[in-house]
Amino acid sequence: DTAVSQTPKYLVTQMGNDKSIKCEQNLGHDTMYWYKQDSKKFLKIMFSYNNKELIINETVPNRFSPKSPDKAHLNLHINSLELGDSAVYFCASSQDSGGHNEQFFGPGTRLTVL
């Protein structure tokens, strides 16, 4: 009964490949997020998304794109992977994007680009 789940937990791939990370939440939340945590442990928001708006952090390359087949899922697609994309990616969700609703985080996906 995991609240926010991500697959895969580990992903090792070559430069130039295209990959996806999946995220699912069973909390009935309206808003989902993607964060990137680099090797220095800084955790940065990449996207927040609900059915009304997509907010993109301006530092995120357009090789990254969120795709939401339904309210419970927000997948992260990455095209033309680069070495610098190696990081841990966390998905999160909240009841909505406003208010004080706490964000619930998934366990993370460790991406290694060789």
Partner 1 sequence: DAKTTQPTSMDCAEGRAANLPCNHSTISGNEYVYWYRQIHSQGPQYIIHGLKNNETNEMASLIITEDRKSSTLILPHATLRDTAVYYCIVRGLQSGSARQLTFGSGTQLTVLP
Q: Which residues bind partner 1 (CB under 8 A)?
A: 4, 33, 41-45, 48, 53, 55, 57, 90, 92, 97-100, 102-108
Is the Cβ of residue 14 or residue 59 nearer to partner 1 in the bound state? 59
Q: What are residue 43's DSSP bridge partners?
A: 37
Shortest Cβ distance from residue 83 to partner 1 (Å)?
22
Q: 74 in helix, strand or coil?
A: strand
Shortest Å, Cβ 16 to partner 1: 28
What SS3 state is found at 8? coil
114 - beta bridge partners? none
Token pair belonging to 23: 């995220």
- Residue placing its CB nearer to partner 1 in the complex, 72 or 88: 88
Minimum distance, C-beta of residue 49 to partner 1, in the bound complex (Å): 12
Residue closer to partner 1 by CB (options 14, 99) is 99
Residue 10 or 61: which CB sits closer to partner 1? 10
Tokens of 55: 């907010």
Residues 6+ apart with CB under 8 A from 30: 50, 51, 71, 94, 95, 96, 97
